[in-house]
Structure 1
Amino acid sequence: MHLSFWWVYLSFFLYQVSQFRQGRDYDWGQALVHGGSQLAFTMLIAYLNYFIFLPRWLAHKNFSRYLLEFLIPFIFLITVRVHVQRYLVDGYTYREGFFYSPFFTVQVAAVTLFIVIFVGMLRFAKDWFELDAKKKEVENEKLTAELNFLKAQINPHFLFNTLNNLYYLAYTQSPNTTEVIEKLSQMMRYMIYDSNHEKVPLSKEIAYMENYISLERLRLNDEIPINFKIEGNPQEVLVVPLIFITFLENAFKHGVSNNNPNAWINIFIQINCRQCVYRVENSKLSNTQLVTGNKSGIGLQNLKRRLELSYPNQYKLQINDQPDRYEVALNLTLA
């Protein structure tokens, strides 16, 4: 942008000189020397202000000091420039006496000041864009750190629940204990490695959920219906990892934890173009509050914050808490 501006400035000067030669013989070599000297002085003043005086003003916020520091070299360089131009154009000026009139000095100062202000505005624009870029970078780093913190909170919560299950199976000497350990190993691999990615294929998230359901089934009555339905191709969709597990955990914890024969859970995932619908419905044990308890509330708050950070203005969360059932519907708009 700077090079383009100065090229336009020099071209305009040469055009102006050619128009006002009034039919006299015109030496383009002299015109280029004249224009080059004018350009050099103007650039010197403009960039002294750009690189030295403006940064000092922005650092100290003292306009009086800035004005004094700028005006002294400005007046000096304008005076030198006027005398240099008088020397260069003497004998071939396109208007008799013009370069020796006070108006010429005023004109040079005004034009130069205008250019200095314009170049200064470029400095302000550059600083603003750099500051805005740094601000966005800091915000992104903050969001990344917060997301990592929120994901880190999921791991202990999950391990706590799973270790409780392992303890129960080991205590009852269940032959399924080794199967639980294998499922847990697969889930931990997903949590440790895949969850570090910004997004993962939905198929991996579903595999994680299926392992979780299999693990939970080991401690439940086989007659409890747990329906998991998927529509669409989950391999073609990317989602934030561990975004679906919170509602699934709540469904098992508060809907079927006592092996109630009337308990049930329905899980539904639908993928349609750029939309992903995730719905969990479960029976609700009497006198159970899913989201007001401390542990469940933390999990739900964690999930909402992750959705706000990962899917800003791209998700819709609906919760329907009835006396005998609990329903959650999450609609994601995928990039």
Structure 2
Amino acid sequence: MKNRGSFLIHFIFWLIVIIICGLAIASNERRLSPHEIMVHFGYYGLINISIFYINYTLLIPQLVQDRKRYGMYVFSMLLLIVFMCILKTMIAVLNSDIILAYLSKNGERKYTEIPEYIVRSVFTSGFFIVISALIKLAIDWFGNERVQRKLESEKKDMELQFLKSQLNPHFLFNSLNNIYSLAYQKSDKTADAILKLSEIMRYMIYESNDSWVSLSKEIEYVKSFIELQKLRFKDGAAVELTLNGEIDDQQIVPLILISFVENAFKHGVANDPKDPIKINIIANQKILHFSITNKKNNQNKDEMGGVGLNNVERRLQLLYPERYKLNIVNSATHYTSELMLDI
């Protein structure tokens, strides 16, 4: 991609130069012979092209970019200009009737003075050196920007994969603990719990591998998780799930809501019908509002949040920069998480 863009810039530049030369030939009052065209534009064209690419491919990469030898670069650049001006002057002297001769206003044939011609040659050579340096710097800058964006994207993807790899084992570990408790109690709910866990894991392993999933699928996953958690309690868990708005095919990052729900079950009181876990989801085509409130479990001394919420907040920073608001309220009796997403 970089080579293609570089080639295009070079092609456009030399096309402009050729067009300008062509217009110069066409505007000449008398028709130039092939030999005159060769002297004017062939020889000098090769010299100017050489100036351009010696600076572009040798001087800048070797002295500026690799070794930062700016003094040596300036000296080499001046040496290149002097050498090419000598070469141009020799060609002009050998072809003085073509290069140096011109008609004055009164029609008298005159010749350009050598010092004047040298000054013009220095200006022309300097022009091609400056242009080659600008093109080189521009191409390298855009190339470095592209590489930097690619590295940042790869770093972001690696971090997201790491966060996701933390999330799945974390959830699985907690769920297996719950199923172990049911099995230890020889509960009839054990088989249902295993079946529900298999459905959840199918979503986590297959569908959540996509970068985005539909909001409806994510909410179904949350519902399945709640049903799995209810099996832990003899009389079921006390959960109020309220859905409002348009919950359809809006896209959301998978597994972004589950940590809040898991945190409520892990650290809160989930079996008090008078003070249930309250989950409220409101959505339209642009905004998702998610909130969850749970009563604190005073017997559970673990810090609220933990790996799960730290994980999800980092994922929000990476995937929804400037597009989310997360508000955590940790009161004496309740814990509330409120998330606003631009979807």
TM norm structure 1: 0.88
RMSD: 2.4
Unaligned 5+ runs, structure 2: 1-8, 104-108
C-alpha distance in 2, partners of 1:149/1:317?
22
Q: Distance in 1 between matches of 2:181 and 2:118?
A: 95
CA apart distance, 1:17: 6.6
Deviation digits for residues 73-132 of structure 1 (CA, Å, limit 9, x no counterpart): 432222222322444462573245544521111111112212211221110011111111
Rounded to whole Å, the distance in 2 between the matches of 1:88 and 1:221 is 106
Q: How does 1:117-156 map to 2 (within 5 A)?
A: 117-156=130-169
Q: CA deviation at 1:285?
A: 2.8
Residue of structure 2 equivalent to 1:55? 61
Listed one character per residue, the Cα deviations across residues 47-69 of structure 1 (whole Å, up to 9, x for unaligned) are 11101111112101112222343
TM superposition shift of 1:176: 1.5
* Distance in 1 (alpha carbons) for counterparts of 2:143 and 2:234: 61
CA distance in 2, matches of 1:91, 1:194: 76
Q: Which residue of 2 aligns with 1:27?
A: 32
Q: Which runs of 5+ in 1 are unaligned?
A: none
Question: 1:40 & 1:159 partners in 2: Cα distance?
Answer: 71
TM-score (norm 2): 0.86
Letter aligned with residue 186 of structure 1: E
Question: Which of 72, 97, 106 lines up with 2:119 in the alignment?
Answer: 106
Contact 2:246/2:285 (8 A) holds in 1: no
* SS of aligned partner of 2:102: coil
Task: Give 1:275's aligned residue.
Answer: 287
Q: Distance in 1 between matches of 2:261 and 2:301?
A: 15
Indicate conservation of the 8 Å contact 2:287/2:342, yes or no: yes
Q: Within 2, Cα distance between the matches of 1:204 and 1:99?
A: 82
1:278-329 deviation line (CA, Å, top 9, x unaligned)? 1112222347677x45xx3222211111100010101011112222222211
Aligned: 1:66 with 2:79: no
Residue 190 of structure 1 deviates from its aligned partner by: 1.6
CA contact (8 A) 2:81 2:125 kept: no
Contact 1:98–1:104 (Cα < 8 Å) also in 2? no
- Tell me if structure 2 keeps the 8 A contact 1:224–1:262: no
Cα distance in structure 1, aligned partners of 2:36 and 2:280: 79
Residue 4 of structure 1 pairs with residue 12 of structure 2:
yes
**Partners of 2:273 and 2:339 in 1: how far apart?**
28
User: Is contact 2:56-2:136 (8 Å) kept?
Assistant: yes
The answer to whether 1:37 aligns with 2:43 is yes
Q: How many residues align?
A: 327
Q: CA deviation at 1:254?
A: 2.0
Cα deviation for residue 13 of structure 1 reads: 4.5
Of residues 237, 245, 257 in structure 2, which corresponds to 1:244? 257
Amino-acid identity (%): 34
* Matched letter for residue 14 of structure 2: W
SS at match of 1:235: coil
